């Protein structure tokens, strides 16, 4: 199952890879991380989401980007896989600090170009809106980088509908990446996912199986267990199939630190839930 990335003409597999678990605290060995990326590509995956701050701290900036580039280079897949990255955060002492200043974004982009060993990033996303910086100033900095040829397409992350509208008044937006899963359906209820579809913006749900706590809840949710048994698949595959049912513009990016996890996630495209099953999920309370 292929889906267009925004209105770029670029086609991607409907399930991407969220590479963050490969580089943050508790990360697997480099050998295992390479194996996860290689297995993802071998199974047909061609969209990997990263960020310069997927690392341990500011001294480790770009770890995930370098890891991805090295893995793709080793298997000769640097041209066939779209690597989307982000800027707008810092990791002092391991903390997560928003920095949407023009200078900070330029530095982040330049470092990402170096880490990915490329002249142009296909999709560059503002990681978060900085409450201390006018969103317009952050976007103008990214637009300048795009005009310089360092960014092909722009995306947003952790944003509201109003912020997307503000951005669209300045520049085309290819994607929006927000947290969304069966236990966090805010963007479904607010109409943000439909808003993106109407404007040909790819909606990228991160933590699509709930992150750490939601991941544990998946195994305890009776409805998921029933459907997993019915279709003889994992609960995680059912959760991803529900997200795919939200629209042809939805591109989940489940994280993985094991080969088996990424292989299982990619097979979610094979599972089609019926209307009654989708409706039943709408009744599940959020965490």
In order of 14, 75, 109, 130, 241, the CA distances from 159 in angstroms are 22, 35, 20, 11, 24
For helices 102-116 and 135-147, what crossing angle results, to 10°?
40
Q: Please give the pLDDT value at position 8.
A: 96
Q: Strands of 42-91 (E only): list them.
A: 47-49, 82-87, 89-90
Rounded-to-integer distance, Cα 170 and Cα 160, Å: 16
Rounded Cα gap, residues 122 and 9, in angstroms: 12
Question: If DSSP codes are grouped into helix, strand and coil, which group holds residue 89?
Answer: strand
269 found inside a domain: no
3-class DSSP state for residue 125? Answer: strand
Residue-level pLDDT at 1: 87
Residue 174 in any domain: the answer is yes
Consecutive 10-residue averages of pLDDT for the chain (287 residues): 95 97 96 97 97 97 98 96 98 97 98 98 98 98 98 98 98 98 95 98 95 72 93 96 97 96 96 95 84
Q: Which of 254, 212, 215 is nearest to 26 (CA)?
A: 212
In angstroms, the CA 170 to CA 273 distance is 38
Distance (Å) of CA 94 to CA 24, 53, 56, 97, 229: 9, 10, 6, 9, 41
The reply to whether 131 falls in a domain is: yes
Q: What are the beta bridge partners of residue 2?
A: 13
Nearest to 128 by CA among 110, 145, 105: 105
277 in a structural domain: no
- Residue 213 has a pLDDT of 63
3-state class (DSSP) for residue 275: helix
CATH number at residue 90: 3.20.20.100
For residue 204, the surrounding DSSP H or E stretch is strand 202-206
Instruction: Give the domain extent around 57.
Output: 2-211+247-257
| Residues 188, 158 contacting (CB under 8 angstroms) | no
Answer whether 0.85 is exceeded by the pTM. Answer: yes
Q: What is the total count of domains within the chain?
A: 1
In a domain, 78, yes or no: yes
Query: If residue 109 lies in a helix (H) or strand (E), which one and from where to where?
Result: helix 102-116
Among 133, 161, 181, which residue's Cα sits nearest to residue 287?
181
> β-pairing, 175-179 with 151-157?
parallel
Crossing angle of helices 63-74 and 30-42, rounded to 10°: 60
In a domain, 123, yes or no: yes
For the beta carbon of residue 76, count every other beta carbon within 10 angstroms. Answer: 9
Q: How far apart are the first and last CA of the chain?
A: 30
Q: Quote the pLDDT of residue 250.
A: 98
- What is the reported pLDDT for 283? 87
Backbone φ and ψ for 77, nearest 5 degrees, come out as -120, 20
In a domain, 271, yes or no: no
Tell me the C-alpha distance between 151 and 125, whole Å: 10
pLDDT (0 to 100) of residue 214: 63
Strand locations in 30-81 (E): 47-49
Domain-located, residue 7: yes
């Amino acid at each position: 199952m292929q889906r267009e990335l925004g209105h770029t003409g670029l086609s991607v597999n409907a399930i991407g890879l969220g590479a963050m678990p490969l580089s943050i605290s508790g990360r697997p060995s480099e050998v295992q991380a390479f194996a996860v990326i290689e297995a993802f590509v071998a199974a047909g995956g061609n969209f990997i989401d990263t960020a310069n701050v997927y690392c341990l701290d500011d001294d480790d900036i770009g770890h995930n980007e370098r890891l991805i580039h090295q893995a793709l280079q080793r298997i000769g897949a640097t041209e066939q896989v779209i690597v989307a990255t982000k800027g707008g955060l810092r990791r002092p002492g391991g903390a997560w600090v928003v920095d949407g200043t023009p200078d900070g974004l330029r530095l982040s982009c330049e470092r990402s170009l170096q880490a990915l060993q490329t002249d142009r990033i296909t999709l560059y996303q503002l990681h978060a809106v900085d409450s201390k910086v006018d969103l317009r100033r952050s976007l103008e900095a990214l637009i300048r980088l795009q005009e310089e040829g360092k960014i092909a397409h722009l995306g947003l992350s952790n944003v509201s509908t109003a912020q997307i509208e503000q951005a669209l008044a300045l520049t085309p937006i290819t994607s929006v990446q927000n947290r969304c899963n069966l236990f966090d359906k805010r963007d479904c209820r607010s109409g943000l996912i439909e808003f993106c579809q109407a404007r040909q913006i790819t909606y990228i749900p991160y933590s699509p199986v709930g992150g750490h706590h939601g991941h544990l809840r998946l195994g305890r949710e009776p409805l998921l267990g029933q459907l997993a048994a019915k279709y003889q698949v994992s609960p995680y595959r059912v959760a991803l199939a529900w997200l795919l049912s939200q629209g042809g513009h939805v591109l989940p990016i489940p994280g993985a630190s094991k080969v088996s996890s990424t292989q299982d996630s990619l097979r979610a495209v094979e599972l089609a839930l019926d209307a009654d099953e989708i409706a039943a999920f709408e009744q599940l309370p959020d965490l």
